[in-house]
Amino acid sequence: MSPQQRRVQLDGLLIVDKPAGITSHDVVERVRRLSRQRRVGHAGTLDPLATGVLVLGLGRTTRLLEYMASHDKRYWATVRLGVSTTTYDAEGEITAHYEGPWPSLDAVEAALEEFVGEIEQRPPAFSAIKRGGERLYKKARRGEQVDIAPRRVIVHTLRLMSYVPPTLHLEITCSKGTYIRSLAHDLGQVLGTGAHLAALRRMASGPFTLDDAHTLEELDTAARARRLHELLRPPDAGLVNLLAIDISPEQARRVAHGQPVSGPPPTTPGQMARIRLNGRLLAVAEYDERRGAWQPRKVFVSVHEVNPAPKRGHTPT
């Protein structure tokens, strides 16, 4: 292998504008090939039908993705009234037709209000949720009946952008775990027409929007020019929900050894903290109430980096 072909370690976040027709795992595999990295993961999937913001982590940054999966999401959704499907979206088999009359604008707006706030939502049978170690969609494809318990999710905003029967365009901001497919299906049940999700585009995930995202074609071009690293965001750019604590070099040495450091307590129960030195992420820490200090849980700095070897001829005091 030539020096130009040697694998270069990449650490950071890559924000991708996922196209329709492929899975999130397909995007991960493509980035693995382009970056020559084995460690690539995502912070929340999109269905094959959906497009938009997909947050990937490369290298050591994969260890941070669990803290980004809880980000709120923002979507543009197209809901088609009058047709119900097995998957609650346009890819499923049709289970029911409704020909009209279509509900009024007032009726649609009143129905939408029922889905704002903390609600109970039952995930689709065709989903990636595991039951007995197997994805539910595999059971559903075999025709098995699976009882799925409803979940509590939060729909922060649900705005009707347009309504030309039988099609609605919605803007939705919601919590982790919200199934827009289920929302479309349930809306159809409330309206008495049936409905499915015809199209979905994720506009934002946490602090990242489509303005931050790169198409697969842009990734291909950057990889061929060996400039993929220029598209990466810093590893902690997605940790806006974690408390930021800046520490001294002396405290940094403690963190490198996995030892707790002092700092302000969390602002919300269970909140984690990102420990930084001069803007660089050193660790993610959890607050120890007993000690009144932050205990590192994931450390991203080595002892050598905060205790550099002395220069030749210099004897440390």
Q: What is the CATH number of the domain that holds 292?
A: 2.30.130.10
Judge whether 220 counts as a catalytic residue: no
Per-residue pLDDT, averaged over 29-39, amounts to 95
pLDDT at residue number 3: 45
Q: Where are the alpha helices (DSSP H) in the chain?
A: 24-35, 65-68, 105-113, 136-141, 180-191, 216-224, 249-256, 303-306
Per-residue pLDDT, averaged over 271-292, amounts to 93
Residues 189 and 89 in one domain: yes
Residue 134 has pLDDT above 70, yes or no: no
Give residue for tokens 């050591």.
60
Per-residue pLDDT, averaged over 245-270, amounts to 92
Which carries the bigger pLDDT value, residue 2 or residue 188? 188
Whole-number Å distance between alpha carbons of 155 and 254: 42
- Mean pLDDT (the chain) is 89
Residue 114 has pLDDT above 60, yes or no: yes
Per-residue model confidence as pLDDT tens digits over 66-101: 999 889 999 999 999 999 999 999 988 999 999 889
Structural domain of residue 296, as residue ranges? 243-306
pTM of the predicted structure, to 2 decimals: 0.86
- Asked if 246 contacts 47 with a C-beta cutoff of 8 angstroms, the reply is no
Maximum mean pLDDT: which of 94-103, 127-136, 197-206, 307-316: 197-206
The single residue of 11, 17, 47, 89 carrying the catalytic annotation is: 47
pLDDT at residue number 150: 84
Residues 91 and 66 in one domain: no
Residues 201 and 154 in one domain: yes
Whole-number Å distance between alpha carbons of 306 and 256: 7
Cβ-proximal residues to 3 (8 Å cutoff; 6+ apart), any chain: none
Residue 131 has pLDDT above 80, yes or no: no
Residues 81 and 193 in one domain: yes
pLDDT at residue number 132: 60
Residues 201 and 87 in one domain: yes
Residue 160 has pLDDT above 90, yes or no: yes
Question: What is the count of structural domains for the chain?
Answer: 3
> Is residue 311 a part of any domain in this protein?
no
* H or E stretch covering 313: none
Residues 195 and 259 in one domain: no
Least confident of 26-30, 124-128, 183-187: 124-128
CATH classification at residue 201: 3.30.2350.10
Residues 88 and 148 in one domain: yes
